[in-house]
Amino acid sequence: MSVSGGGATAILFSPEVGVQWFMITVSVLLVVAELVRTWIPGANDNAFRFLPFFKQRERTEITGLTYGFLAATIAVFAFDKEIVVLALIFLAIGDPVAASIGRRDPRFRVFGKSLIGTFAFAVTAAAAGSIASLHPEITLQWWLVAGATTAAIAELLPLPIDDNITVPLAAAGLMTLVA
């Protein structure tokens, strides 16, 4: 689970300081919720019972949502609004598409992940970024494709950091360098 594409586009319509404070507040609340799940007996079981969006591995790990908000919080401080929005859209659209398609294709695996899923990530992320560029504050630039491709590669690589952090920050970092 990640910061949604719709939430990412809200960044365009909100004052920068307001977005930064919102992201800090939500990130702190999510970290506190992670601590509660870890420290209070039964809290984790209740979270899984009443909140159906958890993945099974998140029973013993930090949730993708928490990682996604932490990455988004870092991004809103480190990068231009346009680039943050695109990077978060890449994650919100590309990651679930890669997972869905990758699960169905047992061939062409690298690092345990499907190359077809990675290709689908890059294509759908670039398409979503192109659609987002219909907004007047997001211009369609050649580096959008480079950012989508970087996001897909970051999702593919077996990095020790959760891909909800690496995907948007790698994409935003590359787009900032080449923009």
Q: Between residues 121 and 108, which one has the greater pLDDT? A: 121
3-7, 107-111, 149-153: segment of lowest average pLDDT: 3-7
Whether 40 has a pLDDT exceeding 90, the answer reads no
Predicted local confidence at residue 39, as pLDDT: 86
In the chain, what is the greatest distance between 2 CA atoms, to the nearest angstrom? 51
Predicted local confidence at residue 22, as pLDDT: 92
42-56, 94-108, 156-170: segment of lowest average pLDDT: 42-56
The values of phi and psi at residue 110, to 5°, are -135, 130
Domain-wise residue ranges, the chain? 5-178
Average pLDDT over residues 35-62: 78
Computed over every residue of the chain, the mean pLDDT equals: 87
Predicted local confidence at residue 5, as pLDDT: 54
Whether 9 has a pLDDT exceeding 80, the answer reads no
Tell me the residue length of the chain: 179
Name the pTM for this structure: 0.85
Average pLDDT over residues 161-166: 94
Predicted local confidence at residue 1, as pLDDT: 41
* Cross-strand bridge partners of residue 114: 109
Q: Which helix (H) or strand (E) holds 146?
A: helix 143-156
- CA distances (Å), origin 72, targets 43, 104, 115: 26, 29, 26
Rounded (5°) CA angle 144-99-78: 40
- pLDDT tens-digit readout, 112-129: 888 999 999 999 999 999
